[in-house]
Chains A and B, each alone.
Chain A
Amino acid sequence: MFDPGPIPGKRLLRIRLNGRWREDAVADDQLLVDYLRDTAGLTGTKTGCDGGECGACTVLVDDEPIPSCLTLAARCEGRSVETIEGLAAGGRLHRLQQAFHEKLGAQCGFCTPGMIMAAEGLLRRQPDPSEAEIRAALAGNLCRCTGYVKIVESVRAAAAADA
C-alpha cells in the first residue's frame, strides 16, 4: 500500500458565491459539492451518485454548468459559483423555478436543482432554445420521476416568460 503521506494541504479559497465574495479554508481534497454543502451550508445542490453520472450536483461556474462532484473546490479560486439558492431574488421565484412549479417539472425534486442550473446555463447562452437544444443541454441530468417531457416544457415556458 502507499504511504498515506502528509495530512492534506489546506488553502484559503476566495470565490464569489451567489454574487458575494467569501473566503474559506478548504482542504486540497475537498470536492466543490462538499464545499458548497458542508462548508457554505448550501444544501440545495444534491449528490445523487458516486461519480459524475447523474447531474444532480450541477452548478454554474463562471456561467457554465458543470457537475460540482467532478471538480475540486480549490480549482474555483477567483471564480463565480452559482447554486440554486442564488436564483430567487427579493422573495420572488426565478423564472425557471416558477416554470418548473407551474408546468410540473418537478416531482420528487431531487434532480431539480441540477436541472434548473443546467437550464439556466443554457438560457444565458441561448435565450430561445429549440427542444433539441434543451434536450442536448440537459443530457447529463437524470430524472427518475418525470420522464423529461414536463422538464422540457418547463424550460420552454421559462424561455417564453423571459421574452
Chain B
Amino acid sequence: MTAPLPLPRLRLIRPTTVEAAVAARVECPQHEVLAGGTDLLVNLRRGLLAPPALIDITGIAELDEVRTTADRTRIGALVRLDRLAEDPAIASRHAALREAAVAVAAPGHRRLATVGGNLCLQTRCIYVNQSAWWRAAHGACLKSGGEVCHVAPEGARCHAAFSGDVAPALIALDAEIEIAGPAGRRRVACADLYHEEGRAHLRLDSGEIVTAIEVPTSIAHSGYLKERIRRSFDFPLAGVAIACRTEGAELSALRIAVTGTNSRPLLIEGTDALLGRRIDESVLAAAEKLVARQVRPMRTTLFPANHRRSVAAALARRLLGALGAPDAAAGRGHAGGTA
C-alpha cells in the first residue's frame, strides 16, 4: 500500500455570514463548501475532486441553532449530529431524526459531522470510493472522469448510491429544506433536494448552500432502521425511515423513505392506499411490497443488489410493525459496539 495522500493544495475561505458564503460560491463555482469535513476531506485526499478553495462555513453562527415552536423545529445546517442525537427535544418530537443521527458513522465523526453535510453527502460506489491508485489500476468510470460505468456499462448514467442516514428520516417527517443563493432564500420539500443521478444528485443551483431544515411536529410516530455490513459503524446497505399517525387504531398518515438503494433518498409512493387500515399483517406485507417494487439498488456495494432490495423491504416491515405495536419505540435503537 502506498502512503495516504496529503490534501491537494488549496486555500480556505472563511465567511461569517450566509451572504458572504454565497458570494464566494458565485465567484468561483468550483470552490467546495466545507462543513464538518468528514466526507469532503476524505474525498479530497482520495483525489476525487480538486477545488481551488474550500469555503469553510463553520464560522456562520446563524447556521448553528436549533429553535423549537409548537408546530415545528428549525435546525441550522451546521448543527452537529451528536447534538441531534442527544437533544431531548429532538428525541421526543422526531424520533426518526434522532435514530438516524445516532446511526451515522462513529461517535468521533458525529462530533464533527453536520446535518447539512449529511444531506449533501456525496453518493457512493465501490468503484469510486477508493484510493487514487486503486481507481487508476481499475480504470476510471463515468463519475471519476472515464467513459463507462463499471456497474451498468450499457447505460449512460451513474448509479452511485445516496448513503446518508438523515435524509430519509427528514423525508418521512415531511421536512423542508431552506436554501440560500444569489436570489435569496427558498424552500423545498426534502425529497426535492435530490435527482436520480449519481454524478449530480443535488438539485442546488450555482451559488446555493443549504441553510436550515424545518421539521413539522404533525406526525407523531416515527423511527429509522438501517442495516450495514459492520455494525459498529458503516454506511447503510439500506436504511428505512417511517413516520405515521394513527386515529383510533387506524392509520391516518404514512410516509416511508429509503436510503442506500438509489442515487437519491426515495419517498415510497402509494402508501395512501393503506390509510384507514389497522397495522396488521396485510398492511405490513403491503408496505414491504411497495418498498421492494420501488427501490432500484445496483451493484455499487460489495453486497448484491437483490439482497439490498430484500433488506430494505424487510426493514420497512419490521419498523412499521414496531411503530404499530403498543409499546412502540421499544426494542429499536442503535447501541453501537466495537467491530
Residues in chain A within 8 A of chain B (CB atoms): 1-9, 28-31, 34, 47, 49-52, 55, 58, 64-67, 69-72, 74-75, 118, 132, 135-143, 148, 151-152
Contacts and interface: CB of A to CB of B under 8 A. Distances in A.
Given A2-B52, A136-B336, A71 B112 contact: yes
Given A70-B37, A70-B38, A70-B112, A136 B4 contact: no
B108 A140 contact: yes
Main secondary structure of the interface of B (DSSP, over half): loop
A31 to B, nearest CB: 7
Contact of B52 (A5, A135, A143): A5
A9 B52 contact: no
Given A29-B10, A31-B41, A136-B337, A70 B109 contact: yes
B11 A139 contact: no
Interface of B: 4-12, 30, 36-38, 41-42, 45-46, 50-54, 56, 58, 105-109, 111-112, 131, 232-233, 335-339
A112 to B, nearest CB: 14
Contact of A29 (B4, B6, B108, B111): B6
Contacts of A4: 8-9, 50, 52
A31 B107 contact: no
B58 A66 contact: no
B111 A64 contact: yes
Contact of A50 (B5, B54, B107): B5
Given A69-B41, A74-B12, A140-B108, 19 more contacts: A2-B50, A6-B11, A8-B10, A28-B12, A50-B4, A51-B42, A55-B106, A66-B108, A66-B112, A72-B12, A72-B56, A75-B37, A75-B56, A136-B337, A137-B107, A139-B338, A140-B107, A140-B232, A148-B339
B335 A47 contact: no
B6 A5 contact: no
- 7 pairs of A and B residues whose beta carbons are closest in the complex: A140-B106, A5-B52, A51-B42, A50-B4, A139-B336, A28-B12, A139-B232
Contact of A8 (B9, B335, B338): B9
Contacts of A152: 338
